[in-house]
């Protein structure tokens, strides 16, 4: 839909419901409207979890706001999940073309209704085109929440320069923004919104635990990961990667998969042999279901294998229910530990250097003892730290609570500029 048609339809809408055309000033309303763009993909429970986390932040700290979610991914199961847990949130879909024109009237109506647009958590400015269209047509404030902004492109810089607030997912992104001349008090650290995800599916979760004999706080969860997510294996057109890129990804994954996972297996073996308890191997991404046996089970000693349980791909609400019952989470993926932390369960992030700068947020939130840089870490170090947790679990829970209190304070403070923008 082009700009002329947009303006024409917008004025028709204004005339029909007694509102002024889009203007650059904020209207002080009893119930302002926030448009959120989020939901980048549905093959990763971490990417799914960004959205309910941010919706819960907004509902908690700006409870009088009406929220519209402009969802990028279109998975039906995730839509049902969001509708079930956030029935007041309207979900809209639609793309943006090269001229930054939106493709349907529903998006235009959202542009007119909304007083503020927020870009949700993500690995970079994934919704840049969505923000560019908002800038072009709405002429109202927007901000970025809990997003990694590593080496932003010129296109992204131009958008970020216009933002009313920029909350980076970790402090290293602030350094990257300063390098390209983007700075100011409106740029702050606010961790990934997944830390505030509050949805669970205890019915499914508890049924799985019962079926597999997993007792509360008597099992750990472990999550595998290759150094690079092999998107070329399950995305259209090889994810747009060149033959050289695919070769690099596959060679790197092959080189490190045993090196990395042997360290995790060492901790699994100690847990089983010293506590007599189970291990649940579970995925954060769809492809990880297919690598569980090769990387984590086949090489285990025979006396340990009977204590191993596997789980297929799931949605974050069920994962949250099971993580809440687990003793500790050990994960090569970044977001399963966050979901665990949000549910009061101690968590280790086994960080691979290829997994971007987002891991810095663990240091920013004082999880230093529970983040392990894999190229600098031995299996013994992971095992010893896990042993410390199970030997003094109350201390580990207290440590976790200190960091989660910090998260709560940051989120509460992050809402202040939003409220000011909305005249609240």
Domain ranges for the chain, please list them: 3-197+407-421, 202-391
Query: pLDDT-based confidence at 423, cuts 50/70/90?
Result: confident
Is the model's pLDDT at 26 over the cut of 80? no
pLDDT at 32 over 70: yes
Whole-number pLDDT of residue 360: 98
Six token digits for residue 67: 């929220």
Q: CA torsion sign, 376 to 377 to 378 to 381?
A: positive
Give the model's pLDDT for residue 424.
Answer: 66
Confidence of residue 29 (pLDDT cuts 50, 70, 90): confident
Same fold across 3-197+407-421 and 202-391: yes
Kindly give, in sequence order, each residue whose CB lies less than 8 Å from that of residue 66, ignoring residues fewer than 6 positions away: 31, 32, 33, 34, 88, 113
Fold annotation for 3-197+407-421: Rossmann fold (3.40.50)
pLDDT of 55 strictly over 80: yes
Task: Kindly report, residue by residue over 270-317, the tens digit of the pLDDT.
Answer: 999 999 999 999 999 999 999 999 999 999 999 999 999 999 999 999
CB atoms within 10 A of CB 7: 14
Spatial separation of the C-alpha atoms in residues 370 and 372, rounded to whole Å: 6
Q: Each residue of 93-137: pLDDT tens digit?
A: 999 999 999 989 999 999 999 999 999 999 999 999 999 999 999
CATH architecture of 202-391: 3-Layer(aba) Sandwich (3.40)
Residue 194 has pLDDT above 50, yes or no: yes
The pTM of the full predicted model, rounded to 2 decimals, is: 0.93
Give 141-184 as a DSSP string: -EEEEEE--SS--HHHHHHHTT-SEEEESSHHHHHHHHHTT--S
pLDDT at residue 103 in the model: 87
Cβ atoms of 321 and 202 within 8 Å: the answer is yes
């Amino acid at each position: 839909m082009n700009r002329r048609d947009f303006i024409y339809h917008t004025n028709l809408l204004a005339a029909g419901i007694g509102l002024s055309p889009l203007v650059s000033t904020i209207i002080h309303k009893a119930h302002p409207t926030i448009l959120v763009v989020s939901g980048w993909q549905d093959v990763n429970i971490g990417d799914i979890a960004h959205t309910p986390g941010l919706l819960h932040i907004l509902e908690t700290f700006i409870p009088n706001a009406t929220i519209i979610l402009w969802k990028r991914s279109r998975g039906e199961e995730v839509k049902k999940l969001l509708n079930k847990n956030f029935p007041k949130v309207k979900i809209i879909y639609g793309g943006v073309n090269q001229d930054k024109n939106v493709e349907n009237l529903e998006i235009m109506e959202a542009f007119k209704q909304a007083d503020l647009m927020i870009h949700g958590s993500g690995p970079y400015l994934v919704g840049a085109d969505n923000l560019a269209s908002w800038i072009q047509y709405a002429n109202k404030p927007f901000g970025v929440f809990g997003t990694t902004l590593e080496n932003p492109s010129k296109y992204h810089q131009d958008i970020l320069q216009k933002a009313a607030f920029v909350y980076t997912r970790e402090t290293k992104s602030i350094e990257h923004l300063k390098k390209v001349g983007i700075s100011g008090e409106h740029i702050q650290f606010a961790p990934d919104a997944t830390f505030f995800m509050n949805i669970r599916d205890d019915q499914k979760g508890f049924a799985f635990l019962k079926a597999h004999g997993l007792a509360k706080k008597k099992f750990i969860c472990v999550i595998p990961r290759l150094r690079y997510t092999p998107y070329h294996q399950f995305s259209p057109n090889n994810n747009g990667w060149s033959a050289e890129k695919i070769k690099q990804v596959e060679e790197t994954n092959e080189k490190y998969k045993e090196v990395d996972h042997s360290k995790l297996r060492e901790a699994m073996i100690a847990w089983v042999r010293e506590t007599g308890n189970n291990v649940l191997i579970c995925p954060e991404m769809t492809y990880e279901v297919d690598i569980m046996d090769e990387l984590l089970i086949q090489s285990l000693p025979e006396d340990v294998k009977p204590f191993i349980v596997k789980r297929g791909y799931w949605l974050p609400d069920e994962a949250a229910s099971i993580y809440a019952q687990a003793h500790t989470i050990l994960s090569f993926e970044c977001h399963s530990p966050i979901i665990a932390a949000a549910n009061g369960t101690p968590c280790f992030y086994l960080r691979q250097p290829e997994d971007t700068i987002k891991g810095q947020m663990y240091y920013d939130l004082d999880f230093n003892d529970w983040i392990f840089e894999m190229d600098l870490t031995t299996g013994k170090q992971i095992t010893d730290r896990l042993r410390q947790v199970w030997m003094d679990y109350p201390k580990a829970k207290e440590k976790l609570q200190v960091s989660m209190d910090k998260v709560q304070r940051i989120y509460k403070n992050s809402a202040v500029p939003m409220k000011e923008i909305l005249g609240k």
